[in-house]
Structure 1
Amino acid sequence: MKKLSIIAFVSLALMAVSPRISAQETASATATATIVTPISIVKDVDMNFGNVAVQSTAGGTVVLTPAGVRSRTGGVTLPSTATGTVTAASFTVTGTGSYSYSITLPSTALTITSGSNTMTVTNFVSNPTGVGTLTAGTQTLTVGATLNVSAAQAAGTYVSGTPFDVTVNYN
Protein backbone atom coordinates (compact mmCIF):
# COMPACT_ATOMS: atom_id res chain seq x y z
CA MET A 1 0.00 0.00 0.00
CA LYS A 2 2.90 2.24 0.75
CA LYS A 3 4.23 1.57 -2.76
CA LEU A 4 0.86 2.43 -4.25
CA SER A 5 0.75 5.71 -2.31
CA ILE A 6 4.21 6.68 -3.53
CA ILE A 7 3.26 5.93 -7.16
CA ALA A 8 0.06 7.95 -6.80
CA PHE A 9 1.98 10.85 -5.23
CA VAL A 10 4.63 10.85 -7.98
CA SER A 11 1.94 10.64 -10.67
CA LEU A 12 0.10 13.62 -9.20
CA ALA A 13 3.33 15.61 -8.95
CA LEU A 14 4.21 14.91 -12.60
CA MET A 15 0.73 15.91 -13.72
CA ALA A 16 1.07 19.20 -11.84
CA VAL A 17 4.34 20.18 -13.55
CA SER A 18 3.68 18.78 -17.03
CA PRO A 19 2.32 21.20 -19.71
CA ARG A 20 -1.40 21.24 -20.22
CA ILE A 21 -2.48 19.57 -23.38
CA SER A 22 -5.33 21.38 -25.05
CA ALA A 23 -7.20 20.51 -28.22
CA GLN A 24 -7.96 24.12 -29.10
CA GLU A 25 -6.23 27.51 -28.85
CA THR A 26 -7.33 30.98 -30.03
CA ALA A 27 -5.36 34.03 -31.22
CA SER A 28 -6.72 37.36 -32.46
CA ALA A 29 -5.69 39.70 -35.30
CA THR A 30 -6.99 42.97 -36.68
CA ALA A 31 -7.82 43.81 -40.29
CA THR A 32 -6.54 47.03 -41.91
CA ALA A 33 -7.09 48.70 -45.29
CA THR A 34 -5.66 51.95 -46.61
CA ILE A 35 -7.50 53.81 -49.34
CA VAL A 36 -5.09 55.80 -51.51
CA THR A 37 -5.89 58.69 -53.79
CA PRO A 38 -6.68 57.30 -57.25
CA ILE A 39 -3.91 57.95 -59.76
CA SER A 40 -4.87 60.24 -62.62
CA ILE A 41 -3.26 61.69 -65.72
CA VAL A 42 -4.32 64.83 -67.58
CA LYS A 43 -2.87 66.11 -70.87
CA ASP A 44 -1.48 69.61 -70.63
CA VAL A 45 0.20 70.05 -74.06
CA ASP A 46 -0.06 68.15 -77.35
CA MET A 47 3.02 66.88 -79.19
CA ASN A 48 4.13 69.08 -82.09
CA PHE A 49 7.17 68.42 -84.29
CA GLY A 50 7.09 72.00 -85.67
CA ASN A 51 7.96 72.96 -89.24
CA VAL A 52 9.81 70.34 -91.27
CA ALA A 53 11.13 70.40 -94.84
CA VAL A 54 12.10 67.31 -96.84
CA GLN A 55 14.10 66.68 -100.00
CA SER A 56 12.32 65.23 -103.01
CA THR A 57 14.83 62.37 -103.26
CA ALA A 58 15.38 61.32 -99.63
CA GLY A 59 13.14 60.97 -96.61
CA GLY A 60 14.29 60.96 -93.01
CA THR A 61 13.16 61.42 -89.45
CA VAL A 62 12.60 64.10 -86.87
CA VAL A 63 13.39 62.94 -83.33
CA LEU A 64 11.63 64.96 -80.63
CA THR A 65 12.98 64.37 -77.12
CA PRO A 66 10.81 64.57 -73.98
CA ALA A 67 12.59 67.88 -73.31
CA GLY A 68 11.18 69.27 -76.60
CA VAL A 69 14.49 69.28 -78.50
CA ARG A 70 14.48 68.22 -82.17
CA SER A 71 17.11 66.50 -84.27
CA ARG A 72 16.93 65.18 -87.82
CA THR A 73 18.20 62.38 -90.02
CA GLY A 74 18.35 61.81 -93.78
CA GLY A 75 16.82 64.30 -96.19
CA VAL A 76 14.88 66.21 -93.54
CA THR A 77 15.65 69.85 -92.78
CA LEU A 78 14.58 71.77 -89.67
CA PRO A 79 14.13 75.46 -90.53
CA SER A 80 16.00 77.59 -88.01
CA THR A 81 14.08 80.85 -88.48
CA ALA A 82 10.59 79.42 -88.94
CA THR A 83 10.62 76.52 -86.50
CA GLY A 84 6.89 76.63 -85.83
CA THR A 85 5.58 75.33 -82.53
CA VAL A 86 7.85 72.59 -81.17
CA THR A 87 6.61 70.83 -78.03
CA ALA A 88 6.86 67.42 -76.46
CA ALA A 89 3.53 66.16 -75.15
CA SER A 90 3.12 67.04 -71.49
CA PHE A 91 0.90 65.44 -68.85
CA THR A 92 0.27 66.00 -65.14
CA VAL A 93 0.12 62.82 -63.06
CA THR A 94 -1.50 63.08 -59.61
CA GLY A 95 -2.10 60.65 -56.78
CA THR A 96 -0.78 59.73 -53.37
CA GLY A 97 2.49 61.48 -52.48
CA SER A 98 5.76 59.52 -52.74
CA TYR A 99 4.07 56.56 -54.46
CA SER A 100 5.72 55.24 -57.62
CA TYR A 101 3.87 54.43 -60.81
CA SER A 102 4.56 52.68 -64.11
CA ILE A 103 4.28 54.43 -67.47
CA THR A 104 2.97 52.70 -70.59
CA LEU A 105 3.55 54.44 -73.93
CA PRO A 106 2.17 53.52 -77.36
CA SER A 107 3.91 50.47 -78.79
CA THR A 108 2.51 50.79 -82.31
CA ALA A 109 2.90 53.50 -84.92
CA LEU A 110 0.55 56.46 -84.81
CA THR A 111 -0.61 57.64 -88.25
CA ILE A 112 -0.96 61.36 -88.82
CA THR A 113 -2.68 62.67 -91.94
CA SER A 114 -3.11 65.73 -94.11
CA GLY A 115 -5.89 64.98 -96.58
CA SER A 116 -4.91 61.65 -98.15
CA ASN A 117 -1.22 62.00 -97.24
CA THR A 118 0.18 60.20 -94.20
CA MET A 119 3.25 59.96 -91.97
CA THR A 120 3.87 57.81 -88.91
CA VAL A 121 5.02 58.63 -85.40
CA THR A 122 6.99 55.85 -83.66
CA ASN A 123 9.47 55.19 -80.84
CA PHE A 124 7.64 57.04 -78.07
CA VAL A 125 9.89 57.97 -75.10
CA SER A 126 9.11 59.67 -71.81
CA ASN A 127 10.65 61.57 -68.94
CA PRO A 128 10.56 60.00 -66.44
CA THR A 129 11.29 56.74 -68.26
CA GLY A 130 9.30 53.63 -67.31
CA VAL A 131 8.60 54.57 -63.68
CA GLY A 132 7.78 57.87 -62.00
CA THR A 133 7.40 58.97 -58.38
CA LEU A 134 4.72 61.36 -57.20
CA THR A 135 6.61 63.99 -55.22
CA ALA A 136 4.01 65.71 -53.02
CA GLY A 137 1.34 63.86 -55.00
CA THR A 138 2.11 65.23 -58.47
CA GLN A 139 4.61 64.90 -61.30
CA THR A 140 4.96 66.26 -64.84
CA LEU A 141 5.42 63.55 -67.48
CA THR A 142 6.70 64.56 -70.92
CA VAL A 143 6.65 62.42 -74.07
CA GLY A 144 8.66 62.65 -77.27
CA ALA A 145 8.75 60.42 -80.37
CA THR A 146 10.13 59.99 -83.88
CA LEU A 147 8.36 61.40 -86.95
CA ASN A 148 9.00 59.33 -90.10
CA VAL A 149 9.01 61.54 -93.22
CA SER A 150 8.97 60.13 -96.76
CA ALA A 151 10.90 61.61 -99.68
CA ALA A 152 8.83 64.33 -101.37
CA GLN A 153 6.31 64.29 -98.48
CA ALA A 154 3.38 66.52 -99.49
CA ALA A 155 3.12 69.90 -97.75
CA GLY A 156 0.34 70.30 -95.19
CA THR A 157 -0.51 70.19 -91.51
CA TYR A 158 -0.59 66.55 -90.41
CA VAL A 159 -2.75 65.59 -87.41
CA SER A 160 -3.58 62.24 -85.84
CA GLY A 161 -7.19 61.16 -86.34
CA THR A 162 -7.18 59.68 -82.84
CA PRO A 163 -4.99 60.73 -79.94
CA PHE A 164 -2.27 58.47 -78.58
CA ASP A 165 -2.63 57.02 -75.08
CA VAL A 166 -0.23 57.28 -72.18
CA THR A 167 -1.22 55.06 -69.26
CA VAL A 168 -0.05 55.31 -65.64
CA ASN A 169 -0.63 52.78 -62.88
CA TYR A 170 0.53 52.53 -59.27
CA ASN A 171 3.33 50.02 -58.69
Structure 2
Amino acid sequence: MKKLSTLAAGLIAMLCSTTNTFAQVTVTANATATIVTPISITKTADMNFGNVAVQSSTAGTVVLATDNSRTQTGGVTLPATTGTVSAAIFTVNGESAYTYTVTLPSSLTISNSSINMTINAFSSTPSGTGTLSSGSQTLKVGATLNVAAAQAAGTYTSTTPFNVTVNYN
Protein backbone atom coordinates (compact mmCIF):
# COMPACT_ATOMS: atom_id res chain seq x y z
CA MET A 1 0.00 0.00 0.00
CA LYS A 2 2.88 2.27 0.75
CA LYS A 3 4.19 1.73 -2.77
CA LEU A 4 0.77 2.42 -4.22
CA SER A 5 0.38 5.70 -2.33
CA THR A 6 3.91 6.75 -3.37
CA LEU A 7 3.05 5.92 -6.99
CA ALA A 8 -0.28 7.80 -6.73
CA ALA A 9 1.45 10.83 -5.20
CA GLY A 10 4.01 10.80 -8.00
CA LEU A 11 1.30 10.60 -10.67
CA ILE A 12 -0.61 13.47 -9.03
CA ALA A 13 2.60 15.56 -8.92
CA MET A 14 3.26 14.87 -12.62
CA LEU A 15 -0.29 15.77 -13.63
CA CYS A 16 -0.15 19.02 -11.66
CA SER A 17 3.17 20.08 -13.19
CA THR A 18 2.26 19.47 -16.83
CA THR A 19 1.10 22.42 -18.91
CA ASN A 20 -0.98 22.42 -21.99
CA THR A 21 0.94 23.18 -25.20
CA PHE A 22 -0.83 24.37 -28.30
CA ALA A 23 0.40 23.97 -31.84
CA GLN A 24 -0.84 27.43 -32.90
CA VAL A 25 -2.28 30.63 -31.50
CA THR A 26 -4.30 33.23 -33.43
CA VAL A 27 -4.65 36.92 -32.74
CA THR A 28 -6.38 39.65 -34.79
CA ALA A 29 -5.40 43.19 -35.78
CA ASN A 30 -7.10 46.04 -37.63
CA ALA A 31 -5.66 48.02 -40.55
CA THR A 32 -6.29 51.71 -41.26
CA ALA A 33 -5.22 54.29 -43.82
CA THR A 34 -5.75 58.03 -43.87
CA ILE A 35 -5.98 59.81 -47.20
CA VAL A 36 -4.83 63.42 -46.90
CA THR A 37 -5.55 66.35 -49.16
CA PRO A 38 -2.90 66.41 -51.90
CA ILE A 39 -0.47 69.31 -51.72
CA SER A 40 -0.76 71.80 -54.58
CA ILE A 41 0.86 75.05 -55.66
CA THR A 42 -0.51 77.73 -57.99
CA LYS A 43 1.18 80.86 -59.29
CA THR A 44 -0.34 84.19 -58.29
CA ALA A 45 2.33 86.56 -59.71
CA ASP A 46 5.46 86.31 -61.87
CA MET A 47 8.86 87.57 -60.75
CA ASN A 48 9.74 91.01 -62.12
CA PHE A 49 12.90 92.96 -61.28
CA GLY A 50 11.46 96.21 -62.66
CA ASN A 51 13.52 98.90 -64.39
CA VAL A 52 17.31 98.58 -64.07
CA ALA A 53 20.02 100.89 -65.43
CA VAL A 54 23.67 99.88 -65.96
CA GLN A 55 27.01 101.62 -66.34
CA SER A 56 29.04 100.81 -69.38
CA SER A 57 32.15 99.73 -67.48
CA THR A 58 30.96 97.81 -64.41
CA ALA A 59 28.80 94.72 -63.95
CA GLY A 60 26.44 94.48 -60.98
CA THR A 61 23.42 92.79 -59.47
CA VAL A 62 19.86 93.50 -58.41
CA VAL A 63 18.64 91.56 -55.39
CA LEU A 64 14.87 91.22 -55.35
CA ALA A 65 13.71 90.30 -51.84
CA THR A 66 10.50 88.44 -51.10
CA ASP A 67 8.96 91.67 -49.74
CA ASN A 68 9.41 93.30 -53.21
CA SER A 69 12.30 95.50 -52.05
CA ARG A 70 15.35 95.79 -54.31
CA THR A 71 19.02 96.50 -53.66
CA GLN A 72 21.74 97.01 -56.23
CA THR A 73 25.49 96.39 -56.33
CA GLY A 74 28.31 97.34 -58.68
CA GLY A 75 27.45 99.26 -61.83
CA VAL A 76 23.67 98.86 -61.48
CA THR A 77 21.35 101.70 -60.51
CA LEU A 78 17.65 101.58 -59.77
CA PRO A 79 15.81 104.46 -61.48
CA ALA A 80 13.09 106.47 -59.72
CA THR A 81 10.65 105.09 -62.28
CA THR A 82 10.69 101.56 -60.89
CA GLY A 83 8.43 99.81 -63.37
CA THR A 84 6.69 96.67 -62.14
CA VAL A 85 8.57 95.12 -59.22
CA SER A 86 7.33 91.83 -57.80
CA ALA A 87 8.68 88.73 -56.18
CA ALA A 88 7.06 85.60 -57.59
CA ILE A 89 4.02 84.72 -55.49
CA PHE A 90 2.44 81.29 -55.12
CA THR A 91 -0.36 79.79 -53.06
CA VAL A 92 0.33 76.41 -51.47
CA ASN A 93 -2.73 74.35 -50.47
CA GLY A 94 -3.03 71.03 -48.68
CA GLU A 95 -3.81 69.33 -45.40
CA SER A 96 -4.28 71.82 -42.55
CA ALA A 97 -1.32 72.10 -40.12
CA TYR A 98 0.95 69.92 -42.28
CA THR A 99 4.47 71.14 -43.05
CA TYR A 100 6.13 71.07 -46.44
CA THR A 101 9.55 71.66 -47.98
CA VAL A 102 10.27 74.21 -50.69
CA THR A 103 12.72 73.44 -53.51
CA LEU A 104 13.88 76.40 -55.60
CA PRO A 105 15.88 76.46 -58.84
CA SER A 106 19.62 77.06 -58.72
CA SER A 107 19.66 79.43 -61.72
CA LEU A 108 17.62 80.71 -64.63
CA THR A 109 18.57 82.41 -67.87
CA ILE A 110 16.54 85.31 -69.22
CA SER A 111 17.19 86.76 -72.65
CA ASN A 112 16.51 89.59 -75.07
CA SER A 113 16.98 87.84 -78.42
CA SER A 114 20.48 86.34 -78.13
CA ILE A 115 21.69 88.44 -75.18
CA ASN A 116 21.38 86.71 -71.79
CA MET A 117 21.36 87.48 -68.09
CA THR A 118 21.41 84.97 -65.24
CA ILE A 119 19.15 84.88 -62.22
CA ASN A 120 20.39 82.89 -59.22
CA ALA A 121 20.48 82.86 -55.40
CA PHE A 122 16.75 82.19 -55.20
CA SER A 123 15.17 82.73 -51.77
CA SER A 124 11.70 82.20 -50.38
CA THR A 125 9.38 83.23 -47.57
CA PRO A 126 8.77 80.91 -45.86
CA SER A 127 12.34 79.72 -46.29
CA GLY A 128 12.93 75.99 -46.74
CA THR A 129 9.86 74.77 -44.85
CA GLY A 130 6.31 76.08 -44.59
CA THR A 131 3.22 75.22 -42.54
CA LEU A 132 -0.25 75.05 -44.02
CA SER A 133 -2.25 76.99 -41.43
CA SER A 134 -5.90 76.39 -42.25
CA GLY A 135 -4.71 74.37 -45.25
CA SER A 136 -3.14 77.27 -47.19
CA GLN A 137 -0.05 79.49 -47.22
CA THR A 138 1.38 82.21 -49.46
CA LEU A 139 4.90 81.47 -50.73
CA LYS A 140 7.02 84.35 -52.08
CA VAL A 141 10.20 83.87 -54.12
CA GLY A 142 12.95 86.41 -54.74
CA ALA A 143 16.35 86.10 -56.44
CA THR A 144 19.44 87.93 -57.69
CA LEU A 145 19.71 89.30 -61.24
CA ASN A 146 23.28 89.36 -62.58
CA VAL A 147 23.77 92.29 -64.97
CA ALA A 148 26.80 92.58 -67.26
CA ALA A 149 28.68 95.83 -67.85
CA ALA A 150 27.04 97.65 -70.78
CA GLN A 151 24.10 95.21 -70.76
CA ALA A 152 21.97 95.96 -73.82
CA ALA A 153 18.68 97.79 -73.23
CA GLY A 154 15.47 95.84 -73.71
CA THR A 155 13.03 93.52 -72.01
CA TYR A 156 14.53 90.22 -70.90
CA THR A 157 12.30 87.20 -70.25
CA SER A 158 12.80 83.53 -69.53
CA THR A 159 12.14 81.20 -72.43
CA THR A 160 10.78 78.62 -70.00
CA PRO A 161 9.23 79.24 -66.59
CA PHE A 162 11.21 78.29 -63.49
CA ASN A 163 10.08 75.50 -61.17
CA VAL A 164 9.16 75.83 -57.52
CA THR A 165 8.44 72.47 -55.91
CA VAL A 166 6.62 71.81 -52.65
CA ASN A 167 6.39 68.45 -50.91
CA TYR A 168 4.87 67.29 -47.63
CA ASN A 169 7.38 66.53 -44.87
Please give the TM-score of this superposition, normalised by the length of structure 2. Answer: 0.95
Alpha-carbon distance between aligned partners in 2 of 1:26 and 1:89, rounded to the nearest angstrom: 59
Q: For each residue in 1:134-153, what CA deviation from the matched residue of structure 2 results, as whole angstroms up to 9, or x when unmatched?
A: 00000000000000000000
Deviation at 1:12, TM superposition (A): 2.2
Aligned equivalent of 2:135, options 127, 134, 137: 137
Alpha-carbon distance between aligned partners in 2 of 1:34 and 1:105, rounded to the nearest angstrom: 29
Q: State whether structure 2 residue 6 is matched by structure 1 residue 3.
A: yes
Aligned equivalent of 2:157, options 156, 159, 163: 159
Paired residue type of 1:8: L
Q: Which residue of 2 aligns with 1:122?
A: 120
Q: Which residue of 2 aligns with 1:39?
A: 39
Q: Which runs of 5+ in 2 are unaligned?
A: none
Alpha-carbon distance between aligned partners in 2 of 1:89 and 1:144, rounded to the nearest angstrom: 7
Question: Secondary structure at 1:136's aligned position in 2?
Answer: helix
Deviation at 1:85, TM superposition (A): 0.6
Aligned equivalent of 1:146, options 144, 156, 163: 144
Q: RMSD across aligned C-alpha pairs, in angstroms?
A: 1.0
Q: Which residue of 2 aligns with 1:102?
A: 101
Q: State whether structure 2 residue 67 is matched by structure 1 residue 64.
A: no
Q: Which residue of 2 aligns with 1:85?
A: 84
Deviation at 1:67, TM superposition (A): 1.2
Deviation at 1:23, TM superposition (A): 2.5
How many residue pairs get aligned? The number is 166
Paired residue type of 1:115: S
Q: Which residue of 1 aligns with 2:55?
A: 55
Paired residue type of 2:137: Q
Deviation at 1:22, TM superposition (A): 2.1
Structure 1's consecutive aligned runs of 4 or more residues displaced over 6 angstroms after TM superposition are none
Paired residue type of 2:48: N
Q: Which runs of 5+ in 1 are unaligned?
A: none
Deviation at 1:105, TM superposition (A): 0.3
Question: Secondary structure at 2:16's aligned position in 1?
Answer: helix
Paired residue type of 1:98: A
Alpha-carbon distance between aligned partners in 1 of 2:121 and 2:15, rounded to the nearest angstrom: 83
Q: Percent identity?
A: 60
